[in-house]
Amino acid sequence: EVFLKIKKKIICLICCRGGSKTIKNKNIKKFNGKPLLIWSLENIKKSKIFDRIILSTDSSKIVKIAKKIKGIEIPGLRPKKLATSNSNQFETHNYIFKKLKINNDNAVACVVNNNPFIKVNLIKKSYQIFKKQNFKGLVTDAARVDGDYLAWKQCKKKGTSLNYIFKKRFLSIKLNRQKLTPAYVNIFNLRWGKPSFLASYNSYKRQLIRGDNSFIELKKKENFDIDDQEDWQISETIHKKYYCD
Residue 245 has pLDDT above 90, yes or no: no
Closest CA to 15 of 69, 50, 66: 66
pLDDT for the residue 159:
93
Average of per-residue pLDDT across 49-73: 96
Looking at per-residue confidence, does 36 or 85 come out higher?
A: 36
Tens of pLDDT, residue by residue over 151-172, are 778 899 999 999 999 898 888 8
Give the lowest-confidence range in 1-15, 102-116, 227-241.
1-15
Across the chain, the runs of DSSP E, i.e. the strands, are 9-16, 30-31, 34-35, 52-57, 72-73, 107-112, 139-145, 155-158, 161-164, 183-193, 214-217
Confirm if 123 and 192 have CB atoms less than 8 A apart: no
Residue 145 has pLDDT above 90, yes or no: no
Closest CA to 205 of 150, 138, 151: 138
Place 23 in a pLDDT band, splitting at 50, 70 and 90. Answer: very high
Place 25 in a pLDDT band, splitting at 50, 70 and 90. Answer: very high
pLDDT for the residue 4:
44
Confirm if 87 and 47 have CB atoms less than 8 A apart: no
Tens of pLDDT, residue by residue over 105-125, are 999 999 999 999 999 999 999
Closest CA to 191 of 225, 140, 143: 140
Average of per-residue pLDDT across 56-79: 96
